[in-house]
Amino acid sequence: MTDDGLQKPIRMTRQRCVILDQLRKMKCHPSADEVYQRVREELPRVSLGTIYRNLDVLCECGLIQRLETAGTQRRFDGNAGEHYHVRCIVCDRIDDIELDVPDEIEQRAREAGDFDIVGHRLEFVGICPACRKARSQNASTN
Ligand SMILES: [Zn+2]
Ligand SMILES: [Zn+2]
């Protein structure tokens, strides 16, 4: 490991540009495999291993983020800013959710335990519109 805690400027290779570009266009918080499918349309010879490596690099330099949600697959987010997510418990779809969470939530967490709180993650769970619709259709045919 050469991580010295500093954000190193990275060389934006063509591959990285394309990966970053595609990821920012995808609002669905894709898995590495889904990013790979998209990038391959532009760079047919790219390998899945290259996608993984570059996603890691882009995460490390803070250009994208890795979602720390409870879903089945590791997912990525082209929006590295602080924002919140809602995950469908049926199909695992993850959407952004616009929400103002008061800063005092971290102060409260500090007071409630003995950790130095440096940030927080908040994941909402629910049922997405498509799954809700499928459920109500199932219910009406029974
Ligand atoms: Zn769903
Ligand atoms: Zn997001």
Cα of 95 vs centre of ligand 2, distance in Å, is 6
Q: For Cα atoms 56, 60, 64, give the angle at the middle one, nearest 5 degrees.
A: 75
Cα of 37 vs centre of ligand 1, distance in Å, is 22
Q: What is the pLDDT of residue 3?
A: 46
Residue 37 CB neighbour total at 10 angstroms = 13
Residues with CB under 5 A from ligand 2 (ion): 77, 96
Cα of 9 vs centre of ligand 1, distance in Å, is 38
User: How far is Cα 70 from Cα 92, in angstroms, rounded to an integer?
Assistant: 9
pLDDT tens digits, 1-56: 444 445 567 788 999 999 999 999 998 899 999 999 999 999 999 999 999 999 99
pTM of the predicted structure, to 2 decimals? 0.76
Cα of 33 vs centre of ligand 2, distance in Å, is 17
pLDDT tens digits, 61-74: 999 999 876 666 78
Cα of 133 vs centre of ligand 1, distance in Å, is 9
Alpha helix positions (H), 1-142: 14-25, 32-42, 48-60, 104-112, 129-141
- Residue 96 is inside which H or E element, if any? strand 94-97
The two structure tokens encoding residue 69 = 């949600």
User: How far is Cα 73 from Cα 69, in angstroms, rounded to an integer?
Assistant: 9
Cα of 42 vs centre of ligand 1, distance in Å, is 29
User: What average pLDDT does range 101-109 have in this prediction?
Assistant: 89
